[in-house]
Structure 1
């Protein structure tokens, strides 16, 4: 709790400094699920590129929860941004339901809101103008297709997710389950695999990391120790690969299984640190998003909306990259 309060105080202090004095330019906030995350760092870089191109018309305020994130801390940051009357907010909701409650005040204050990376739940989407980011269901679909190419007869599988309340990860899990089972489920996170099309989720899975990277590595280690003959392990985000040394140590004992396709290890995201690990034989496939483009496009959209132009198309998808060891030289879109 002490760490939470300190992190929140620092975040609020940053907001106050940015908003103090005469506001000479618009302030658009880019709010990730957590900071110190290489995925969200790329979104920050895209946001800052848009800021530079605006030649002083607006500031990209990149601000969010601490390293491991948390819906409660993100909600408090949003509430403070709204109270400070920023000119626009782009948020990747950690807890979609909780963020929706906070955004009611933004709507009442007339502050335009976009979501990126992760969206609100269907009954709350009127609180934001549009979603800019990945088609999250399609991430799951493509992860599952890679697993099926490696294991055409099916097998046992463990899905590792970011958080039970994260809408984007639930949509990815639904895409995985639907594609492996061959049957569309009614809603995310989809129907548990109990033998459909040859695929069965093992006991104890899905796993939830809550965006804690060391926890994600430990979960893989523990799962493999208990299930040495597991056929497929599928993280819906790059969590373990974001701490490469720890992940290398955890996955190295299974490199032979991966190479022989006894273990289908396929992972979401295609950041350079992850592609390096795939090249080393530590995964058989990566399905990547384009976070730089998310940060860039949300800022341009908020600037356009502030000047009276229409909101972007809802949703605005930023595309996917599907990579395997065989396609690694050409798989990342330009």
Structure 2
């Protein structure tokens, strides 16, 4: 009996000595993902990707936290709280590049890896960005608009936060393509709904009312379309113009409500991002940084162009 115990203990010691440092008891990492706002359904997909990837990795926990509505100061406070809590890494969708820089620097000084996702802060101390090539997204929206409405006319842009770097790049990209094609932007454009779907919907109504001959609306985020019933009421009120090709609407994102609206002919085209992939890759990048590895500073995920010709394919995926 004693011989068996001695042999077993010796074997255990040998096995333990063969493990890499820290492998005997794997460290658990708590990575936080901070969206601009929790009430935007777009970010729910990033949360789902984060949670799924954390479960797959096994030794990673995904903490999803942020302001309920878009509020740059509240986002900074969220990150401050995460630093105090001592999380293992933070991924932020930046609402205001200027206000977030100081707290990112503080997190890095505290030894916490920080990356951005969806919306970047390239002049900050963040170590990487994972998300959309936003200038290309804006250009693609404009190209899809021109395909659906070849004759130049007047257009308006609906955006989210005026300090959001990702949205400003989309606006600039769309403007460049439309200007070159002879389109004219109406006064008061872009409008900024601060990621508030109801406000975005109100702005859409106001733009159409203030500009009776409006030819197109470019939404660099899908906010008005998330209201579903309210947007359908807008479509019904402008059905003749939209169905007749006199008023063309294109939007970013491909959430289920938007795909349904596209299928019904209420929208001409959607250019979709991949927030689920952003959430998943954020966990992979933070884990690599936590292990002291070097990562590529810019990591783009793809875009999906959806029209009436292929919308059924995206609705079944």
Please, which of 23, 26, 31 is the counterpart of residue 28 of structure 1?
A: 31
Equivalent residue runs for 1:83-162 within 5 Å: 83-120=84-121, 122-124=122-124, 127-162=125-160
1:118 touches 1:168 (CA, 8 Å); kept in 2?
yes
Secondary structure of the corresponding residue to residue 123 of structure 1: coil
1:321 touches 1:333 (CA, 8 Å); kept in 2?
no
How many residue pairs were aligned?
292
Secondary structure of the corresponding residue to residue 63 of structure 2: strand
Matched, 1:237 2:225: no
How far apart, CA to CA, are the structure 2 residues paired with 1:333 and 1:278?
14
Write out per-residue CA displacement over residues 265-318 of structure 1, whole angstroms, 9 at most, x where no aligned residue.
00110111110011111100000000000000101111122123222x221111
Please, which of 51, 55, 58 is the counterpart of residue 54 of structure 2?
A: 51
1:255 touches 1:281 (CA, 8 Å); kept in 2?
no
CA shift, 1:100, in A, is 1.1
Which blocks of at least 5 consecutive residues in structure 2 are unaligned? 1-26
In the other structure, the counterpart of 1:326 is 309
1:323 touches 1:332 (CA, 8 Å); kept in 2?
no
Equivalent residue runs for 1:147-296 within 5 Å: 147-182=145-180, 197-296=181-280
Structure 1 or 2, whichever has the larger Rg, is 2
How far apart, CA to CA, are the structure 1 residues paired with 2:297 and 2:141?
24
CA shift, 1:249, in A, is 1.4
In the other structure, the counterpart of 1:16 is none
In the other structure, the counterpart of 1:305 is 289
How far apart, CA to CA, are the structure 2 residues paired with 1:333 and 1:90?
30
CA shift, 1:255, in A, is 2.4
Please, which of 39, 42, 47 is the counterpart of residue 42 of structure 2?
A: 39
CA shift, 1:220, in A, is 0.7
1:143 touches 1:287 (CA, 8 Å); kept in 2?
yes
How has the CA–CA distance of structure 1 residues 168 and 101 changed in structure 2, closer, same or farther, with 3 Å as cutoff? same
Which blocks of at least 5 consecutive residues in structure 1 are unaligned? 1-23, 183-196
CA shift, 1:49, in A, is 0.3
CA shift, 1:250, in A, is 2.0
How far apart, CA to CA, are the structure 2 residues paired with 1:199 and 1:89?
41
**Greater mean deviation of Cα atoms: 285-294 or 173-182:** 173-182
Secondary structure of the corresponding residue to residue 198 of structure 1: coil
Write out per-residue CA displacement over residues 18-69 of structure 1, whole angstroms, 9 at most, x where no aligned residue.
xxxxxx72210000000032110000000000111122x1210000101x21
CA shift, 1:332, in A, is 8.1
2:235 touches 2:242 (CA, 8 Å); kept in 1?
no
In the other structure, the counterpart of 2:9 is none
How far apart, CA to CA, are the structure 2 residues paired with 1:296 and 1:314?
16
Runs of 4+ deviating beyond 6 Å: none
In the other structure, the counterpart of 1:76 is 77
Matched, 1:60 2:62: yes
How far apart, CA to CA, are the structure 2 residues paired with 1:153 and 1:283?
18
Secondary structure of the corresponding residue to residue 153 of structure 1: coil
Write out per-residue CA displacement over residues 128-178 of structure 1, whole angstroms, 9 at most, x where no aligned residue.
111101001111011000111123231101001101100000000011011
